[in-house]
Structure 1
Amino acid sequence: MTSTDQPREKTFFGHPRPLATLFMTELWERFSFYGMRAILALFLSTAIIDGGLGLSTGTAAAVVGVYNAMVYLAALPGGWIADRILGPQRAVLIGAIIIMVGHLAMAVPGGAGWIYLGLALIVAGTGLLKPNISTMVGHLYDDRDAAHRDAGFSLFYMGINIGSLAPFVVGWLGQNVNYHLGFACAAVGMFLGIVQYVAGGKGLRGIGARPTHPLTPHERNRAMKVVGIALLALVLLAVVAALAGFLTLDAATVFLTIVAVAVPIAYFCYILLGDHGLTADEKSRMKVYLALFAAAAVFWMIFDQAATTLTTFAATSTDLSVFGWEMPSSWTQNINPIFIIILAPVFAALWVRLGDRVSTPLKFAIALVLAGLSFVAMSAAASIASTGVKVSILWLVLVYLMQTCGELCLSPVGLSVTTRLAPAMFSSQMMGVWFLAVSVGDSIGGQVARLSNGGTSPVYFLWSGVFAIAVGVVLFLCVPGLRRVMNEHPGAGLRPGTGHPGKLSE
């Protein structure tokens, strides 16, 4: 039999077949995550007599912000556990099971204790699943094929956003039937993800089956001591705060915000200043990554307010009536994933077509400007609403369209650049570091919204947008230098029929 007679290996839209299993697993995990998140702020701020927890709008925004932050902060130890103990494959499975149990805890109508227990479990489980499933996607591609890697992550990202349509189901159940039933529906989604992952496990071809840098017995003992000391210190801190009268929900969100910001600072110092045998080139690339990380944090500070300030604005200041029927305000969170599903294939093809003519730092700068402009538009909508008139839902459609285009410039590309710039010995951990940018942005955004009484005023939106635009402009000015360090050479960046590189090649 000649080579041409050999049966072709099955692919998934032109990509390695194992991407299908990872695509579907992530889809159901995101269904559970975004479905629950769509109603979380509404549940927290709904009066107790109406089935909620009765928190103020500002406090509810802060809780959701730090919850999101802790979800992504947990990706760092989750990546470390996969690198050193479990391997990515087992970490994903264990994480999915913990997430499902967390949603089941929230489904119990037993008061705030069950809710916070469920949120804590979801944080822990997502920390194990989220970075490691993305790492496995990265390992499907040759390191030299950056363009197709970006396209693969864009396709993977489309699966994420199909799952993000969960508010159509979970949001409707939560707002029209019972919030706890909505949380139970999220648990069912995660169960389906577990079934999908186990069924497709054999097709992963050993990807992520083993830890890349297993702990030695001595390192294991030392790690257990560090974890024990950290837990003891946390318990003592909580006791002292309670005795001093500082153990309030708002104080807890402030503390967790400080943690969310301090951890990435400490970790970057650990990587860059520690003795890990990194080459000079790896250290230079990490400095570039630090700049991209900061830009991403600003983007997520704006973008992830969909579950808080934008949903609150939809519920209080937006005309949601459709032919006499009132749309659940949580459904407005579906606008973004719908745009992602439509535009992700377009952006995936665009990155392949443009190749390296558009650099990663430039994509990040474009994303920041778009995010900033979206909040400038929100400022205009909030100004109209301040007169007592409910605004058209088209304002939110415009805002989500700009944010979606920015997201497709930054998020899947950020996943891809992390796998490219990560030092070899920190591969899974660096994927966790990427999600710390979301953690920083979400926690700061939640606190700013809390201090702004829920963050729905025109001034709040305007200054948040202007800040993001300013950061984007600064990053744009730094693009040439960052690109040189990254070795992203615009060899194909010539305009047809000219001898000069186009503006996008910068």
Structure 2
Amino acid sequence: MADLNKQRVVESVPQRGFFGHPKGLFTLFFTEFWERFSYYGMRAILVYYMYYELSQGGLGMEESTALAIMSIYGSLVYMSGIIGGWLADRIFGASRAVFYGGILIMLGHITLAIPGSISLFFVSMVLIVLGTGLLKPNVSSIVGELYSEHDGRRDAGFSIYYMGINLGAFIAPLIVGYVGDYNFHLGFGIAAVGMFLGLIIFIFTKKKNLGLAGTLVASPLSQAERKKVFLIFGISAVVLAVIVAVTIPLGLLTFKSFITIVGILGILIPTLYFIVMFRSPLTTSVERSRLVAYIPLFIAAIMFWAIQEQGSTILASYADKRTQLDFAGMHIRPAWFQSLNPLFVITMAPLFAWLWVKLGKRQPSVPKKFALGLLFAGLSFLVILLPAYFGGEDSLVNPLWLVLSYFIVVLGELCLSPVGLSATTKLAPSAFSAQTMSLWFLSNAAAQAINAQIVKFYSADTEMVYFGVIGGAAILLSILLYLSSKKIQGYMKGIQ
């Protein structure tokens, strides 16, 4: 988007009206709050819905299959963000992408709310993956359009917006988890209502609060390009439909083969991104050096997210089957544990922000912060194997062990996630700045694609080995990263 257009957008937005920030922040805060409420509410009970027996209102899948599908689903959500960003930049703008995405997400949750078959379940997954890919990256980009590049409120605005994300993620499992304990479909219905409320807020306040933000297409396709793109999309859709129609009856496309395909894509796509950027004539020698420094950070991020994202798969199953749910005079719903991550992020993020400012030039370098993040992630898995070591694999575990595991991994997240976002903007080649940010989010997609392959090794019999091997691998990688930090810092060419 040209500088002149950026200025036009900023001037069209009322610059006061929400805690001293542009009025549009109100619209985007609550749109994203309700979208995250719907997403995390659905996710809190989804794995249980998949592996609970038909008599319990579930789909009766094998638990290992349900855990793998959950990971694949998370991976596809992050991959689809690339498509959503491209469509907004080239065809219909961020505002329409948010609206279309919200509609698809709501329809997906409504489909889940209808008691039905596994076929309906997969239809809902497709709708939610496509919808989230359209909405999530674009609502964030509109936040950036509310402020001029030199507006000192920008970072604080994103912090307020980030708080909306975590508030929605915190409240949703408590409400949807409680209702879903009685009826899964009613829980999914509440998630659909959440997205509906987000859409209502967006539709009725965007004209007054957002001005031109999100309406301008950054790099629109020409008429000839549009025809070519739509032709390619149409042919691709037909070819894909034919492949699916042929391979499913022949038994070639199964749960296992699809999981393998997504697993390969999860690694292949970011690898191709790195190769294209590194070999591009638009990338300078200094930028190539910084890309080399970014590779070990990216690998560390994959390892970290592989552990953190198991909070909604392996640890969700652990909460359901291995944890003492009647505790301190109350009955705990297993889905409630998924509120712990956003709760700890909300409470601890200001402390970490203060700590880095307080340390100033004495704070750890970017590679050392990543190493710390990996160390905490590994420790979170070693902590959760201790109850089985001390009390055996058949006894129910005190829920405080699970709380401690979630807390420790959040310490790692606050060392790695915001630092990773910042490092990505600094290390990105200037010609690929937006695409490098997409690449950062693909670290999560790659992690969950890998998880889909490894969760099948988890069972009551392998619990200690599973947590021990993965936790130990993360700690070993953190040590190697720490020891290599000085060399990596050298490749960063002055970036701190």
TM-score interval (norm. to shorter): 0.7 to 0.9
CA contact (8 A) 1:174 1:181 kept: yes
- Residue pairs, 1:446-465, within 5 angstroms: 446-453=452-459, 457-465=463-471
Larger mean CA deviation between 211-220 and 50-59 belongs to 211-220
TM-score by length of 2: 0.88
Q: Residue 84 and residue 240 in structure 1: after superposition, are their counterparts in 2 closer, same or farther (change >3 A)?
A: same
What's the CA shift for 1:366? 1.5
In 2, Cα distance between equivalents of 1:414 and 1:445? 21
What's the CA shift for 1:343? 1.3
**1:308 alignment partner AA:** T
Larger mean CA deviation between 101-110 and 477-486 belongs to 477-486
CA contact (8 A) 2:109 2:124 kept: yes
Q: Which residue of 1 aligns with 2:5?
A: none
Q: Which secondary structure state, in structure 2, belongs to the residue aligned with residue 87 of structure 1?
A: helix
> Is 2:69 the partner of 1:88?
no
**1:51 alignment partner AA:** G
> Is 2:398 the partner of 1:389?
no
2:299 to 294, 297, 308: 294
Q: Which residue of 1 aligns with 2:420?
A: 414
In 2, Cα distance between equivalents of 1:324 and 1:50? 25
Partner deviation per Cα, 1:250-301 (whole Å, 9 max, x = no partner): 32222222222222222332333345x3444444444444433222111110
CA contact (8 A) 1:418 1:430 kept: yes
**1:444 alignment partner AA:** I
In 2, Cα distance between equivalents of 1:450 and 1:399? 21
In 2, Cα distance between equivalents of 1:148 and 1:488? 27
> Is 2:454 the partner of 1:438?
no
Partner deviation per Cα, 1:386-418 (whole Å, 9 max, x = no partner): 342211111011111111111122223333444
Partner deviation per Cα, 1:325-383 (whole Å, 9 max, x = no partner): 42111111111121122112222333444456444333222211111110011121333
Structure 2 gaps of 5+ residues are 1-13
What's the CA shift for 1:243? 4.5
Q: Which residue of 1 aligns with 2:60?
A: 54
What's the CA shift for 1:489? 5.6
Q: Which residue of 2 aligns with 1:134?
A: 140
> Is 2:173 the partner of 1:167?
yes
> Is 2:347 the partner of 1:342?
yes
CA contact (8 A) 1:309 1:454 kept: no
Q: How many residues align?
A: 480
In 1, Cα distance between equivalents of 2:473 and 2:153? 33
In 1, Cα distance between equivalents of 2:58 and 2:347? 35
- Residue pairs, 1:196-275, within 5 angstroms: 196-201=201-206, 202-274=208-280
In 2, Cα distance between equivalents of 1:399 and 1:185? 29
2:483 to 463, 477, 482: 477
Q: Which residue of 1 aligns with 2:318?
A: 313
Q: Residue 366 and residue 14 in structure 1: after superposition, are their counterparts in 2 closer, same or farther (change >3 A)?
A: farther
**Structure with greater contact order relative to length (CA < 8 Å, sep ≥ 6):** 1
What's the CA shift for 1:28? 1.3
Q: Residue 122 and residue 387 in structure 1: after superposition, are their counterparts in 2 closer, same or farther (change >3 A)?
A: closer
In 1, Cα distance between equivalents of 2:215 and 2:278? 28
Larger mean CA deviation between 313-322 and 467-476 belongs to 467-476
Q: Residue 132 and residue 243 in structure 1: after superposition, are their counterparts in 2 closer, same or farther (change >3 A)?
A: same
> Is 2:334 the partner of 1:332?
no
Q: Residue 419 and residue 17 in structure 1: after superposition, are their counterparts in 2 closer, same or farther (change >3 A)?
A: farther
> Is 2:30 the partner of 1:24?
yes
In 2, Cα distance between equivalents of 1:252 and 1:120? 14
Q: Residue 169 and residue 470 in structure 1: after superposition, are their counterparts in 2 closer, same or farther (change >3 A)?
A: same
Partner deviation per Cα, 1:86-126 (whole Å, 9 max, x = no partner): 22232222211211111111111121121111111110011
**2:234 alignment partner AA:** G
- Give the CA RMSD over aligned residues: 2.9
**1:365 alignment partner AA:** A
TM-score by length of 1: 0.86
Q: Which residue of 1 aligns with 2:7?
A: none
In 1, Cα distance between equivalents of 2:422 and 2:100? 24
In 2, Cα distance between equivalents of 1:471 and 1:148? 37
**1:220 alignment partner AA:** R
In 1, Cα distance between equivalents of 2:262 and 2:345? 31
**2:142 alignment partner AA:** M
In 2, Cα distance between equivalents of 1:138 and 1:148? 11
In 2, Cα distance between equivalents of 1:467 and 1:278? 34
What's the CA shift for 1:457? 0.5
> Is 2:198 the partner of 1:179?
no
Larger mean CA deviation between 217-226 and 370-379 belongs to 217-226
CA contact (8 A) 1:449 1:455 kept: no
> Is 2:401 the partner of 1:402?
no
In 2, Cα distance between equivalents of 1:443 and 1:77? 18
CA contact (8 A) 2:289 2:493 kept: no
Larger mean CA deviation between 469-478 and 45-54 belongs to 469-478
Larger mean CA deviation between 312-321 and 11-20 belongs to 11-20
Q: Residue 57 and residue 382 in structure 1: after superposition, are their counterparts in 2 closer, same or farther (change >3 A)?
A: farther
What's the CA shift for 1:456? 6.5
Larger mean CA deviation between 118-127 and 429-438 belongs to 429-438
